Amino acid sequence: MSYPQQLTPEEKLADAKKLLSLPRIVVICGSTRFMTEMNEADLRETKAGKIVVKPGCDMKSPHELWSDPVEAEALKVRLDDLHRAKIRLADEVLVVGDHIGDSTRAEIAYARSLGKPVRFTHPEVDPAA
């Protein structure tokens, strides 16, 4: 007697996206110093019919929400966790910018470990190239 195979959470998410007829979801990664370029990529990907998620906070710009250094460090940890969740949700990753720092390099490695396709606005910065 055979039993039905249990679906992984990833397979359940993929099935739910199909059932909901969701367009492809792209997550934008990169340094927040490229926020202008991220906004442009968001426009282009949205015009192409994709759902776009990207960093929502530019902690390189002053703001009262992260003016306290202790609170800012705690917020950065939460935002990093949130961005990894966005990567898990997405169907693909778009890395924006002509420089890859440690955080973005870790996001790329994480996305690839999950089997997510990764595109670059500047392919020459691909760490795998």
85 part of a folded domain: yes
- Indicate whether 111 belongs to any domain: yes
Decide if 114 contacts 88 (C-beta within 8 A). Answer: yes
Pairwise CA distance, residues 46 & 55, whole Å = 15
Neighbour tally for 112: CB within 10 Å: 14
The tally of domains found in the chain comes to: 1
41-93 pLDDT, tens digit per residue, is 999 999 999 999 999 999 989 999 999 999 999 999 999 999 999 999 999 99
Letter string b/e over residues 34-53, b meaning 16 or more CB atoms within 10 A of that residue's CB: bbebbeebbeebeeeebbbb
Q: In terms of residue numbers, what domain contains 93?
A: 46-129
Look at residue 127 and tell me if it is in a domain: yes
Tell whether 30 is covered by a domain. Answer: no
Q: Give me the percent of the chain exceeding a pLDDT of 70.
A: 98
**Which pLDDT band, with edges at 50, 70 and 90, does 3 fall under?**
confident
